[in-house]
């Protein structure tokens, strides 16, 4: 049977219309599909949790896509190599005990294992607000990224989740929203903090990003560079081991809670 333009459009619309509503109520909702978000999605889905990831850009992978200054190579420390190996990424041992990997291979394979485990990704969608019930973050408010970019007034949709992860990187977008809505007087998201990470220090930043991965509001967890932005810790360059370990840590924390 000949396929025409209308049948193609119908197929796209029908499949999306069937799949999208299945993720209005999930175990874990993740904002950001960078390295930490990808790893968290992978291990949460591996454990049988219903996971949805919203990425505001068309492409997933965050800063990992670009490697270092657009050379598609990333560096990781030994402690994190098991995560790349879990995804089937080829790694190469370098000097002083560090390892390197192809940035594009790393992103695509981490995404593939997360999807194979059951995680669902929706790109070009922005988390513009949070749901709060009984002083607990229990979901995201989402809209098309194009709506946000155009400054249009279009009402959003809501996603309910037992746990939410802000993995939006340097901007810490969900944490900024939550701080405005919950207005704490103390704690990591108090009004006095700028939610901006410090200067670059790869070694210090690597340690801090794992240490800072935790629950910052009831129901809301931080991972990846978002964690360092929230706590004012160092930023890193094209070294991603801490990001991977942060994604694994936040998954482990949530699995214990759930």
Residue 144 sits in a domain whose CATH number is: 3.50.50.60
Is residue 51 one of the residues assigned to a domain?
yes
What pLDDT sits at residue 192? 46
Q: What is the pLDDT of residue 4?
A: 84
Could you read off the pLDDT tens digit of each residue along the chain, which spans 258 residues? 567 889 999 999 999 999 999 999 999 999 999 999 999 999 999 999 999 999 999 999 999 999 888 999 999 999 999 999 999 999 999 988 899 999 999 999 999 999 999 999 999 999 999 999 999 999 999 999 999 999 999 999 999 999 999 999 999 999 999 988 886 545 566 544 567 777 777 777 788 999 999 999 999 999 999 999 999 888 887 789 999 999 999 999 999 999
pLDDT value, residue 200: 72
Is 179 part of a structural domain of the chain?
yes
Query: Residue 193 has what pLDDT?
Result: 59
Tally of structural domains, the chain:
1
Nearest partner of 55 among 147, 163, 167, judged by Cα: 167
Whether 111 is in a domain gets the answer yes
Residue 3 makes CB contacts below 8 A (sequence gap 6+) with none
What is the rounded (10 degree) CA torsion for 106, 107, 111, 112? -50
**Domain presence at residue 74:** no
| Domain annotation covers residue 202 | yes
73 in any annotated domain? no
Q: Residue 204: what pLDDT?
A: 77
pLDDT for the residue numbered 149:
94
Residue 212 lies in a domain: yes
By residue range, what is the domain housing residue 213? 23-65+103-257
* C-alpha span between 108 and 233 (Å, rounded): 29
59 falls within a domain: yes
């Amino acid at each position: 049977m000949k396929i025409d333009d209308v049948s193609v459009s119908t197929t796209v619309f029908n499949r999306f219309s069937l799949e999208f509503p299945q993720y209005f109520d999930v175990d874990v909702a993740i904002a950001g599909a960078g390295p930490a978000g990808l790893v968290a999605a992978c291990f949460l889905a591996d454990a049988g949790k219903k996971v949805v990831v919203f990425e505001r850009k068309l492409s997933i992978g965050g800063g990992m896509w670009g490697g270092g200054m657009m050379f598609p190579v990333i560096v990781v420390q030994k402690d994190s190599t098991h995560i790349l190996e879990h995804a089937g990424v080829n790694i190469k041992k370098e000097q002083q005990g560090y390892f390197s990997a192809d940035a594009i291979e790393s992103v695509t394979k981490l995404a593939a294992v997360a999807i194979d485990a059951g995680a669902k990704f929706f790109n070009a969608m922005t988390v513009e607000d949070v749901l709060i019930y009984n002083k607990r973050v229990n979901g995201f408010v989402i809209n098309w990224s194009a709506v946000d970019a155009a400054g249009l007034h279009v009402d959003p949709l809501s996603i309910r989740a037992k746990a939410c992860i802000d993995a939006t990187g340097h901007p810490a977008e969900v944490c900024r929203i939550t701080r405005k809505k919950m207005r704490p007087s103390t704690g990591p998201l108090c009004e006095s903090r700028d939610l901006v990470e410090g200067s670059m220090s790869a070694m210090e930043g690597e340690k801090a990003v794992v240490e800072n991965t935790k629950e910052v509001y009831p129901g809301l967890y931080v991972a990846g560079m978002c964690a360092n932005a929230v706590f004012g810790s160092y930023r890193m360059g094209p070294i991603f081991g801490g990001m991977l370990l942060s994604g694994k840590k936040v998954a482990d924390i949530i699995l214990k809670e759930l």
